[in-house]
Amino acid sequence: MAGSLSNYGEQLILNLIFRKTQSGAVAPDNLYVGLTKGAIYDSQLSTSQLANEVTDGHYNRQYVTFGAPVVDGEGSSTVATNNRDVAFGPWDLSETEDITHGFICDAAVGDANIIAWMQLDFAKKPNGGDMLVFYEGDMKLLLD
C-alpha cells in the first residue's frame, strides 16, 4: 500500500530540511500507525479531525520504523518502507465497517499530528480474534 504525506508532513519535511525548524519543534522521536474506517485527506492535520479511527477494545496505534529511503527501479521515485512487521489485534469484536485507510502520526494515544496516510490495497473487516498485519515492506512512502 502506497502512502502520501499530509499537508502537515510536507510542511514538517520542508521546514526541517530547508529551515532547520518546524515552529520550534523537531522531527518526532517515534512514529505510530493507526487505522480508520473511511477516507483521510491531506487537509486533516491531526487525529482529532478523524471521525472514524478504529475503536475496537484491543485496537492500539502501533509503533513503526522505516528503513533508509531508496530510489525505485525506474529511478523516478524515492521510497521508504516499514522495516519490521506491524500487527494490530487480535480484534475484540467483529468489525461492522471496512477498515480502508491507515495513517502515520507522532503519538501512540490521544491527539496526534498526522504525518502521512495511505489507502489499504484491500478493505479489511476483521472478525473477533483476527489479527491485521502489515509485513515488512508493505507500507511504502513515496517522493517523486
Expressed as residue numbers, the domain containing 86 is 2-143
At residue 21, the pLDDT reads 62
Instruction: Tell me how many domains the chain contains.
Output: 1
Residue 3's contacts (CB-CB under 8 Å, 6 or more residues apart) are 102, 104, 116, 117, 118, 139, 140, 141, 142
Q: What is the pLDDT of residues 23-52, one digit of tens each?
A: 555 678 899 999 999 999 888 989 999 989
Q: Is 31 helix (H, G, I), strand (E, B) or coil?
A: strand
pLDDT less than 50: residues of the chain: none
pTM of the model: 0.87
